[in-house]
């Protein structure tokens, strides 16, 4: 069985300071992992994806995430927050093969990121 836990429902940072959004997963298989961002009144947009290639994955807008199998984590980071990063972020886990319930996609409950001037 798979699951994903986003440890913080809300994170607040000051502009220019680092961002850390935490995600832990549980999977019977070597998973694929994704981070999505949702700005207000918009759909979810893919930030980055891990699919068993390099463990450090770079995404759009300066975000990156590191897959750590020993810690079953896939935390999202950015060195310096920008006001435009304020949004909700979702971590998603899926096994490498398709099929099954939920389409194999398990969404975390989301982390709202606030950026203070």
Q: Which residues bind another protein (CB under 8 A)?
A: 32, 34, 36, 41-46, 49, 51, 90, 92, 94-105, 107, 109-110
| Nearer Cβ to another protein (9/14) | 9
- Compute the least distance from the CB of residue 73 to another protein, in Å: 19
| Nearer Cβ to another protein (7/105) | 105
Q: DSSP letters of 44-81?
A: EEEEEEE-SS-SEEE-GGG-EEEEETTTTEEEEEESS-
- Compute the least distance from the CB of residue 64 to another protein, in Å: 16
| Nearer Cβ to another protein (36/81) | 36
Distance CA 116, CA 86 (A): 9
- Provide the 8-state DSSP code for 3: E
Burial class (CB in 10 A: 0-12, 13-18, 19+), 77: middle
- Compute the least distance from the CB of residue 59 to another protein, in Å: 11
CA nearest 67: which of 52, 85, 47, 87? 52
| Nearer Cβ to another protein (76/81) | 76
């Amino acid at each position: 069985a798979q699951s994903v836990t986003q440890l913080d429902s809300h994170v607040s940072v000051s502009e220019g300071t680092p961002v850390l959004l935490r995600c832990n997963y549980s999977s019977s298989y070597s998973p694929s992992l994704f981070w999505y961002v949702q700005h207000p009144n918009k759909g979810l947009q893919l930030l980055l994806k891990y699919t068993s290639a390099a463990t450090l994955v770079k995404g759009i807008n300066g975000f990156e995430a590191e897959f750590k199998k020993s810690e079953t984590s896939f935390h999202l980071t950015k060195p310096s927050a920008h006001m435009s990063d304020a949004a909700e972020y979702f971590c998603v886990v899926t096994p490498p093969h398709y099929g099954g319930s939920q389409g194999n996609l398990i969404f975390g409950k989301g982390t709202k990121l606030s950026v203070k001037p």
